[in-house]
Structure 1
């Protein structure tokens, strides 16, 4: 059942007729139990929501199957009428359920935005893809795959585990994102005592996939509640400062106009989510846009999506920065601000206290100042 706030949002956005199904786990559960009785679905849990006002709404779910430990992944997308009409991806009957009100339910690995994902997940066809990505490792087959991250209709990240014990990371992109990612992830960064980035091992435009070396270590996100958290944040800040000095090569620039478009979109989303904040959101977006237009173009390499999840703490104090799909030429303050904003979320979710957050931010900033 929808909360009052969610029900009001559904009512406001009449352009997306099927939003209720996306946002209401009970509605999805009923549909799955009727459409796929052989699965014996017992419950569903919403884990991620992506909302584009008047255009689409996508929800990721974990689907619990009776007598099965690992949940099935699924996502539900409600489209605007015009966007629904443009869907041209062949849709099979097993992995996709077409519902009324322009709603599509996709059962993993079915994905209308990543039509080749099923080939990567299937063990037999996966070997052919890996032989293209990693021809030098042909003797290592067969190989299993472990899902690390999945953004439906955008990107899939998996860890390939070979029988001899080695691992690589494979990323599968939607078609229009592969060229940018292939360029952004090509980094000339020899390992130093402070910084490490994953080497690109292979790529295939035909399969829309890239392969990277697997870097072992501890994800920083899981370390912020430990006694050594401040030390880890200091090491992270020092590594980021060094990363910002790397060559930009042929990276695209994140211009003021691109930032302005994002701010406008954010203000529009806030307006739909909570109308009383509409004027304030627009005022803030306009003010920031005006300031950005007066700044000179930035020319340093930035991560573009920097957070605690993109930092691996390795042995001997070395820090690995991963996931470089969004690398661009820009202002390093974007990475710093984005990182701190993500860190502040942990205070709001009560995982750490305000004082702990302040100490972690102080350690992070101190390292940046000393390293620059």
Structure 2
């Protein structure tokens, strides 16, 4: 029977027509009973879900057939996977072999198949009959005829991914058979050389491996039964530490960066399940990335998927098993994985919660006695990653109230990673407190509309009527809170709105958006430019990973237009690290895309406009700093010379305020923001603006100036390579104009005035020598 949360999730993904059918155990039980022989309807139970938004959903089931256990899967396909669905239908049509055939529901694009008809694990066909089992074992174990008569019993079956079976001969278990999908088999075979990878036999034709049997009980089984001792846990820690201390002889790596990418992908999928959870996961990623990069780099051989079921204990020793993910990586990730899985056993009700802390303390204490250099603080980000990778388990295992369980898990992670974070208080009726009172700001006579723009109740009504897209996605929503991001009295105000929609009693959804208010009226130009860019290849699914935020409507009465708030970290926070240098070519690519897209606009920005600003304001700087007066006027004269020497170049659409604060990095995606000044102009203006900001930032950041200078140089060289029609002298001239403008800004802001003399000196040197200022070398 479908829960309210299931129905809400199904409603959000209309692209998969068979979703409600595949998730309904009762409907599936009736369907397979009509098509397969002797199915016990009451025994049909779903065990886990694998979901790809808009494309497919696979549900694994257990049942009884002829009084024996049966594993089967039901998979439904979305409209975007029509070719895969057609190929599968053709495969079923031409199927040969024994066992119950797959069944198809054509109108809903749904298929049900038993283990022996798994389309990705073709070797399982042999397991449909006894003769096939013997034939498979003869091919896998040609030198061990004593094992050919062994019976194969299922231990675990992950449809389309992996089958694990126990080989039992007359005298007992002799091995473990693993049948893999081709990509997974190839990955295991590419791991490298290590004693743990010793096998009894393997077949590239069948994508199958036979591993030795290890006698004993897994620590997981002992924990679930309540018979695990402190000694068992300590032995587990010691055997893991021994693995970490072994010399690295493997080829495969398992990096924290790769795990963060898996979390990004998971967050994208979860947007269809619990949208609030997806947003909160994305907000954690930059924090975790900063914590990881601030740690000393540690690498060793690691298990890669370590938990209590991956160690077998006998009377005198512990043995690690299941080395499918053996690789080179950070040893803390194995420790974190063990802890996270242990906590999960408590969440799932398989382990007493009060025993978890004791187990963790015993494990960590024993592990620290090993020669592996470790510190508790270094495990924290790895533990957050391990927990995040398990966060969709309540849904995948179809636990009751799965949205709430997932939100409880993210609450725990946020408390550990962000000590100041507090989860929102939920009232007994499932709702949240009403919108917070307006945020106070200084009175602004030029912007009287701000009183309404900062009132949650007023904005709720405005947004419901002005943004059909929000209403379509969130249904009946409210403004939960209002925050002024930036306010320039008499000119403009940027406001963040946190929205909340309770579509059902079991799932709360949140969304944040930004409202841009302009004193002199609605900025229709900026709105239309951003909307046009979104519609011409800058949307949130752009394959090159370069996007702009989606526009969400206008409120003319408030002089406001709306856009989605996007996740990410500003480039400014990343460029000061060596790892950030890899962003420079990506930013050059983003700028190239913006210029080549060339969205039409009636606004133009010329070098005469640039000179007008400098001619008006640089003399004011000279007056405030008499000792710099001569140099400032030389800079101004040099700017006039620079403009006079600019070459002709076709104008294109330019950002006009392109600098590191205008780019957000969200994993592999770059977001270009704040396009309010978008105009037709010389492309070198954007390039020089970015380079000038990087050099000025280096002047103010004495300790990190070398890296910032390197970043600017890589960016500039990459731009020149991408845009060969540009004259390098033009880029130098535009960089000079930007540095001169930044002299003006430094003199206007109290926090930057102390740097004005250094910026003047650097600009003068750059202008005259055409090389990096000596103060930055």
TM over 0.5: yes
1:167-316 alignment runs, 5 A limit: 167-184=174-191, 186-188=193-195, 197=196, 199-224=198-223, 225-292=225-292, 298-316=298-316
| SS at 1:146 equivalent | strand
RMSD, aligned α-carbons? 2.2
Partner of 2:496: none
Q: TM-score, normalised by structure 2?
A: 0.44
Q: CA deviation at 1:296?
A: 6.6
CA contact (8 A) 1:256 1:293 kept: no
Partner of 1:145: 152
Higher helix proportion (structure 1 or 2): 2
CA contact (8 A) 2:182 2:207 kept: yes
Q: CA deviation at 1:171?
A: 0.6
Partner of 1:192: none
Q: Does 1:86 align with 2:84?
A: yes
Q: CA deviation at 1:186?
A: 4.7
1:31-42 alignment runs, 5 A limit: 31-36=31-36, 38-42=37-41
1:35-114 alignment runs, 5 A limit: 35-36=35-36, 38-43=37-42, 44-65=44-65, 68-86=66-84, 88=87, 90-91=91-92, 92=95, 94-99=100-105, 100-114=107-121
Q: CA deviation at 1:73?
A: 1.1
Q: Does 1:327 align with 2:326?
A: yes
CA contact (8 A) 1:116 1:207 kept: yes
Q: TM-score, normalised by structure 1?
A: 0.89
Deviates more, 1:231-240 or 1:12-21: 12-21
Q: Measure the CA separation in 2 of the matches of 1:219 and 1:121.
A: 29
Partner of 1:131: 138
Q: Measure the CA separation in 2 of the matches of 1:119 and 1:84.
A: 29
Deviates more, 1:284-293 or 1:327-336: 284-293
Partner of 2:12: 12
Q: Per the alignment, do residues 255 and 344 of structure 1 end up closer, same or farther by CA in structure 2, a change over 3 Å counting?
A: closer
CA contact (8 A) 2:255 2:330 kept: no
Q: Measure the CA separation in 2 of the matches of 1:210 and 1:161.
A: 16
Q: Measure the CA separation in 2 of the matches of 1:214 and 1:134.
A: 14
Say which one has the larger Rg. 2
- How many residue pairs were aligned? 360
Q: Per the alignment, do residues 166 and 34 of structure 1 end up closer, same or farther by CA in structure 2, a change over 3 Å counting?
A: closer
CA contact (8 A) 2:53 2:269 kept: yes
Q: Measure the CA separation in 2 of the matches of 1:350 and 1:344.
A: 10
Q: CA deviation at 1:52?
A: 2.3
Q: CA deviation at 1:231?
A: 2.0
1:194-245 Cα distance to aligned partner (Å, 9 max, x none): xxx5731111101111111101101111111535432211111111111112
Q: CA deviation at 1:329?
A: 1.0
Q: Measure the CA separation in 1 of the matches of 2:253 and 2:6.
A: 37
